[in-house]
Every structure is written in structure tokens, then in C-alpha cells.
Amino acid sequence: MRAKGLDQLKALHEQLRRERDASAARDAQEVAQTVQQAAEAAAFATAVGPVRALRRHDRVPLARERPTPHPRQRELDERRAMREALSDEVDVESLLLTDDGLSFRRPGIGPDVPTRLRRGQWALQGEIDLHGLTREAAREALVSFLREAHRRGQRCVRVVHGKGHGSPGRQPVLKDKVQRWLAQRNEVIAFAQAAGAQGGAGALLVLLAPRGTR
């Protein structure tokens, strides 16, 4: 029995020795692999030299579009100049003709022009309706409309100012101001009260100078 116990003890010691040897071998192998990898990396770095990442060429750098600057100060200056240029106090009574209806023509424009304008000698090419606008809004809208119409080469346009039925006292307040404003615009060479079918007392037919002449 004692001999059998010694044999088992020897076998256990032998197994432990083999396990220690195997573990030591694995550790030595791992160390050798690490040393080898480090040596290979060093050799590659020495052979190749400094390395830097290449810039990718499959992407196009896009410049950010900046918003178009809004000319606020210029708009304010234009509005101020417009208010100063178009006065509400200008006396145009002496320039208005009352032959067969309210009309206006500049010096040098034939006396038959307002009549021909009212009769539809020129075809309407544009219209603006100032109904419901305040005085300042109507003035700005009218100036912008006339400037753009003249730039486009339009000759005959209609300006609807209303008959004043919705105004205090049922008086056409805007009508008188529109007449004054039109008489002060260089693009306007004549205007006449529209015929009944074209708006009557609530509208004016306006003849503009040819583009480039004023």
C-alpha cells in the first residue's frame, strides 16, 4: 500500500512538472513573437521612412455659400429720397385738364393724347391696385410699379386708386394723392381718368415715356 501511494505521488509531481514546462514554453513563445513583431515593425519603419496618411481624393471640398447681403441701408435711403421727391403738397390743379374728364399731359405732349389714351389707343400692359393701402405703402408701391414698368418698356398701365367709398366721409383721399405723385414722376408723360368699363373714377390710365428717353 505504501509503495502504491509513493507511485501516485510521483505521478502527481510529474504531471505538475509537465504543466509548468508547458506554461513556460507558451510564455517563451509569446515573448519571442512579441520581440519578432517589434523587430519587423522597426525594420519596416527604417526601410520606408516617415509615413503620413494620404489625402482622400474622392471628396470634393464645397465652399459654403454665403447669404446674399440685404441692402437695408440702401432701401432706407431710397425710401427717404422717394418721400422727399414725391410730395403730397404739390399743386397739380393747374396742370389737370377737365375737357371730357380728368387728365394730365406734360408740355410738348399733344392735346389729343389724353383723349386717345382714354379711348384705348394704347393697349394696357400692366396694372396696380392700391386699394386698402396706407398713404406711405401706396406711394412706395406706386413708385416701384412705375419704375419696373418703365424698365420693361411698358407704355400704358392702369393705376386703380378706388372711388373712396370706404374712406371717412366717403371722399377719395388716395385719388388726389395719386394724381400728385404721378405728375412728379419723370416716366409719366400723360394720364387720364379711365372710362367706365376700365374703372371710371376709381382708376387712371397712365402713359409712360419710351424706355431710355427719361
pLDDT in tens, 49-60: 676 766 666 666
Q: Is residue 84 scored above 50 in pLDDT?
A: no
Stretch 97-117: mean pLDDT, rounded?
A: 82
Q: Is residue 203 scored above 90 in pLDDT?
A: yes
Tens of pLDDT along 129-168?
Answer: 998 899 899 999 999 999 999 999 999 999 999 886 555 5
Same domain, 98 and 36: no
Residue 55 lies inside a defined structural domain of this protein: no
Which of the given ranges, 24-28, 63-67, 177-181, has the highest pLDDT on average?
177-181
End-to-end CA distance of the chain: 135
Same domain, 142 and 197: yes
Same domain, 161 and 100: yes
**Which of 37-41, 120-124, 129-133 comes out lowest in average pLDDT?**
37-41
Same domain, 28 and 91: no
Residue 127 lies inside a defined structural domain of this protein: yes
Q: Is residue 87 scored above 70 in pLDDT?
A: no
Split into its structural domains, the chain has a count of: 2
Same domain, 204 and 127: yes
pLDDT of residue 172: 62
Residue 65 lies inside a defined structural domain of this protein: no
Same domain, 96 and 173: yes
Single pTM value for the model: 0.56
Residue 96 lies inside a defined structural domain of this protein: yes
User: Number of C-alpha atoms within 13 angstroms, CB side, residue 114?
Assistant: 21
Residue 53 lies inside a defined structural domain of this protein: no
Same domain, 33 and 108: no
Distance CA(198)–CA(118), nearest Å, equals 9
Task: Using the structure block, give the residue that is written with the C-alpha cell 371730357.
Answer: 100
190 pLDDT band, cuts 50/70/90, is: very high
Same domain, 113 and 178: yes
Same domain, 111 and 187: yes
Same domain, 79 and 32: no
pLDDT of residue 36: 83
Same domain, 19 and 86: no
The CATH code of the domain that includes 152 is 3.30.1370.110
Residue 179 lies inside a defined structural domain of this protein: yes
Contact 182, 206 (CB under 8 A): yes
DSSP states of the chain: -HHHHHHHHHHHHHHHHHHHHHHHHHHHHHHHHHHHHHHHHHHHHHHH----PPPPSS----PPPPPPPP-HHHHHHHHHHHHHHS-S----GGGEE-SSS-EEE-TTS-TTHHHHHHTTSS---EEEE-TT--HHHHHHHHHHHHHHHHHTT--EEEEE---STTSGGG--HHHHHHHHHHHH-TTEEEEEEPPGGGTGGGEEEEEEPPTT--
Residue range of the domain that includes 6: 1-44
Stretch 8-24: mean pLDDT, rounded?
A: 78
Residue 69 lies inside a defined structural domain of this protein: no
Same domain, 187 and 89: yes
Residue 141 lies inside a defined structural domain of this protein: yes
